[in-house]
């Protein structure tokens, strides 16, 4: 499945940073912000921000800045943040329960409606008001409620079977936390959240810093040095 037509994946992945910045600007009573100001706050080149935002639509006259409320509304529409999206969690263990209990996803229109697990000792329990169901109920619930997203938080060896189950039930978007590459049919989008490989990157940084004798580098693709951008 493609990203939003026309927008490259790196640009798409930066849009939530702009969104969070604009929410704070709006809360602070700002009506206009410039790409330079956003760039300074987010440690990104202003030209990059203008390019990323040009995928949404044209905004006003160059040099005048972005109207905060218009840009927020465009980002919400473009990213589908205003639409309610319902998800299920497969694997009601430590991570699955933590994600299901996290209230912050509501700001992105995401509502986790149920959890599924193969462990009979967990079935029937509640997590933050959501019931843990047996896997045998997955297809029926997903079909009835037209659930669009499946969050996979089972051990690696069970992840492909979990993905097969959610895809067979009609889910087309998977947020996968298991450290494994899933095979899915065309038309199904998988977003991998590989925390272990991120940790490996941090570990590498720590080791390098220990070996360094003074100079601070800024190489790398995923991280930023200095204050965090988001
Ligand atoms: P966990 O053992 O606490 O939970 C896994 C859950 O999946 C259990 O409740 C188990 O009963 C269930 N399960 C196992 N096989 C299943 C199947 N076939 N169908 C349905 N349910 C099944 O594990 P965890 O710590 O929550 O980690 C879950 C996944 O997330 C793992 O792949 C792990 O590598 C990854 N992960 C976890 C963390 C973390 O902080 N906990 C961090 C990074 C990655």
The structural domain count of the chain equals: 2
> How high is the pLDDT of residue 83?
78
Q: Is the CB of 135 under 6 A from ligand 1?
A: yes
Over residues 72-118, the pLDDT tens digits come to 999 988 888 877 889 999 999 999 999 999 999 988 889 999 999 99
Using most ligand atoms within 8 A of CB, pick from 94, 127, 137 the residue to mutate for ligand 1: 94
Taking only the tens place, the pLDDT of each residue in 147-193 is 999 999 999 999 999 999 999 999 999 999 999 999 999 999 999 99
Among the listed residues 176, 220, 171, 213, the one whose alpha carbon sits nearest the alpha carbon of residue 194:
176
191 and 101 within one domain: yes
pLDDT number for residue 218: 42
pLDDT at 225: 56
* Protein residue with its CA nearest to atom 40 in ligand 1: 95
134: left (phi over 0), alpha (psi -120 to 50) or beta: beta
Contact 91, 153 (CB under 8 A): yes
The answer to the question of residue 23 being in a domain is yes
- Do 148 and 189 share a domain, yes or no? yes
Centre of ligand 1 from the C-alpha of residue 155, in Å: 4
CA of 63: how far to CAs of 24, 92, 220, in Å? 22, 50, 31
Which residue's CA lies nearest to atom 31 of ligand 1? 155
The answer to whether residues 39 and 115 belong to one domain is no
Query: What is the SS3 string spanning 55-73?
Result: CCCCCCCCCCCEEHHHHHH
Expressed as residue numbers, the domain containing 60 is 9-79
Question: Quick check: CB of 165 below 6 Å from ligand 1?
Answer: no
Query: Which domain CATH number covers 105?
Result: 3.40.50.720
Segment 199-203 mean pLDDT = 86
- Greatest alpha-carbon pair distance for the chain in Å reads 61
Residues 120 and 147 in one domain: yes
Do 100 and 41 share a structural domain? no
Ligand 1 within 6 A of 176 CB? no
134 part of a folded domain: yes
- Whether residue 209 is contained in a domain is answered as no
120 falls within a domain: yes
Q: Please tell me the predicted confidence (pLDDT) of residue 94.
A: 97
Q: Do 28 and 61 belong together in one domain?
A: yes
Task: Report the nearest-CA residue for atom 2 of ligand 1.
Answer: 93
Examine the domain organization and report whether 126 and 183 are in the same domain: yes
Asked if 75 and 89 sit in the same domain, the reply is: no
At 27, which CATH number? 1.10.10.10
- Computed on alpha carbons and rounded to an integer, the radius of gyration of the chain in Å comes to 20
127 lines ligand 1 (CB under 6 A): no
Do residues 74 and 91 both lie within one domain? no
Q: What are the φ and ψ backbone dihedral angles of 74, each rounded to 5 degrees? A: -65, -40
């Amino acid at each position: 499945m493609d990203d939003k037509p026309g927008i490259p994946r790196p640009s798409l992945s930066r849009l939530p940073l702009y969104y969070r910045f604009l929410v704070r600007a709006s809360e602070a009573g700002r009506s206009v912000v410039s790409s330079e100001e956003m760039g300074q706050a987010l440690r990104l080149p202003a030209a990059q921000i203008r390019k990323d935002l040009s995928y949404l639509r044209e905004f006003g006259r160059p040099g005048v800045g972005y109207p905060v409320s218009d840009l927020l509304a465009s980002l919400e529409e473009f990213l589908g943040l205003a639409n309610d999206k319902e998800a299920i969690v497969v694997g009601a263990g430590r991570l699955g329960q933590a994600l299901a209990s996290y209230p912050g996803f509501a700001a992105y229109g995401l509502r986790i409606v149920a959890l599924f697990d193969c462990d009979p000792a967990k079935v029937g329990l509640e997590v933050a008001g959501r019931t843990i169901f047996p896997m045998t109920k997955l297809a029926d619930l997903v079909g009835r409620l037209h659930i669009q997203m499946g969050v996979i938080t089972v051990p690696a060896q069970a992840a492909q079977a979990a993905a097969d189950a959610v895809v067979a039930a009609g889910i087309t978007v998977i947020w996968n936390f298991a450290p494994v590459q899933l095979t899915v049919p065309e038309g199904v989008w998988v977003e991998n959240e590989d925390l272990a490989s991120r940790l490996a990157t941090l570990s590498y940084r720590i080791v390098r810093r220990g070996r360094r004798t003074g100079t601070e580098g800024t190489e790398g693709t995923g991280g930023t040095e200095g204050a965090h951008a988001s």
